[in-house]
Amino acid sequence: MLGNFSYHNATKLYFGEDSLQYLKQELPKYGNNVVLIYGGGSIKKNGIYDQVIAILKESGKNIAEDAGVMPNPTADKLREGVKIAKAHHADLLLAVGGGSCCDYAKAVSVSVHCDEDPWDKYYARFEEPDCEIVPVGCILTMAGTGSEMNGGAVITNHDTKQKIGHVFGEEVMPKFSILNPRFTMSLPKRQMVAGIYDIFNHICEQYFSGEDDNVSDDLAEALMKSVIRNALVAVDDPENYEARSNIMWAATWALNTLISRGKTTDWMVHMLGQAAGAYTDATHGMTLSAVSLPYYRCIMPYGLPKFRKFAVDVWGVIPAGKTDQEIAREGLAALENWMKKIGVAMKLSELGATEEMIEGIADATLILDGGYKVLDRGEIVRILKESL
């Protein structure tokens, strides 16, 4: 059954090959001072930067640039971004890039008019914004995080070796996001695959919790099946628009709060993966893939009916003549097989993690209680060792 909840997601989305043109329509809604946020400069090579700048100039905007947002945006970079936005009296933060840029823009948006240190306020003390929030718009160049239609903002602190996500409320969600599947085609295949696994895991994190029959799980299964099918196409043929457009749209709905309505959620793969990410600075999606199977094998006995359902409904495992455990195990084997086919990292050691880091990563892992089993320290260490 569905418990009590509210749903409100007012982000306006423009999707498709022609979607960038709608930026012209959105810009007049905001003041003149725009901070253009982007990453390492790939948008300069693929021409997106020039297109965006042209539209901003045509709309008469004063542009300040905040470049160099890294794949795992740091607290130091966040402080720098706040200074840039303050100095420019920013009316709009326009992020052009993947989830890192969107996440970062949201973290800046709640900090521009705030005197406290943003890491301390939002990531150490987990406070909510109590100052004016600068509007954010996103132009996505990678599918994965769902950051384009949610309030999430993950920031990494290298000093404290922490990678923490703050999920802000609806007032921090992007006002608009532009999703052009063609823009995602210039990514290296490894980045595409990491994004795909990130999407898939977002769905799993919300699916593997609770025992009731609810529409949210049905929708989650639909998204999983679409991602599984289209990932196989996209890995063989990255220019396949059908596959890339489906992956991009599934990514948005995998993490915009829809499939978690009325139910509990897990999120322990993200807690383990983010802790590993803080130690290795590895690509987010790959840290998730590396810890997933040891984690799911550990919790499977505690959520057997859902793992059985996952096997049958998502992977088409034929249940006849098998025990529930056999069926569930076959489902996880199918997941493993798919992960290998699309080429995600299967081990943390591939990402630079070492035996010596295990205790530290375990220390940095936040333990949540929404899933089928609240992990103890011994289980976390065992999962991390099996992931190595």
| Residue number, 73 or 146, with CB nearest to a copy of itself | 146
- Could you say which DSSP state residue 159 is in? T
Q: What letters, b where the CB count within 10 A reaches 16 and e where it falls short, cover 202-241?
A: bbbbbbbbbeeebebbebbbbbbebbbebbeebbeebebe
Please give the Cα distance from 165 to 94 (Å, whole number). Answer: 20
Q: Is 250 in the site for a copy of itself (CB under 8 A)?
A: yes
Q: Which stretch binds a copy of itself (CB under 8 A): 64-72, 89-97, 127-135, 219-227?
A: 219-227
Shortest distance (Å) from residue 265 CB to a copy of itself: 16
Please give the Cα distance from 56 to 42 (Å, whole number). Answer: 19
Residues 261-280 that bind a copy of itself (CB under 8 A): 261-262
Q: Which stretch binds a copy of itself (CB under 8 A): 99-107, 137-145, 200-208, 223-231?
A: 223-231
Q: Is 183 in the site for a copy of itself (CB under 8 A)?
A: no
Q: Is 239 in the site for a copy of itself (CB under 8 A)?
A: no
Residues 17-56 that bind a copy of itself (CB under 8 A): 17-19, 22
Adjacent-strand bridge partners of 205: none
Instruction: Count the Cβ atoms, other than its own, within 10 Å of residue 115.
Output: 7
Structure-token match 């608009």, residue found: 176
Alpha helices in 172-240 (DSSP H): 189-207, 215-236
Q: Which stretch binds a copy of itself (CB under 8 A): 2-10, 64-72, 121-129, 342-350?
A: 2-10
Instruction: Count the Cβ atoms, other than its own, within 10 Å of residue 132.
Output: 10
Q: Is 237 in the site for a copy of itself (CB under 8 A)?
A: no
Q: Is 327 in the site for a copy of itself (CB under 8 A)?
A: no
| Residue number, 249 or 295, with CB nearest to a copy of itself | 249
Looking at residue 63, its amino acid is: I
Q: List residues binding a copy of itself (CB under 8 A).
A: 1-19, 22, 181, 212-215, 218-219, 221-223, 225-226, 229-230, 241-242, 245-246, 249-250, 253, 258, 261-262
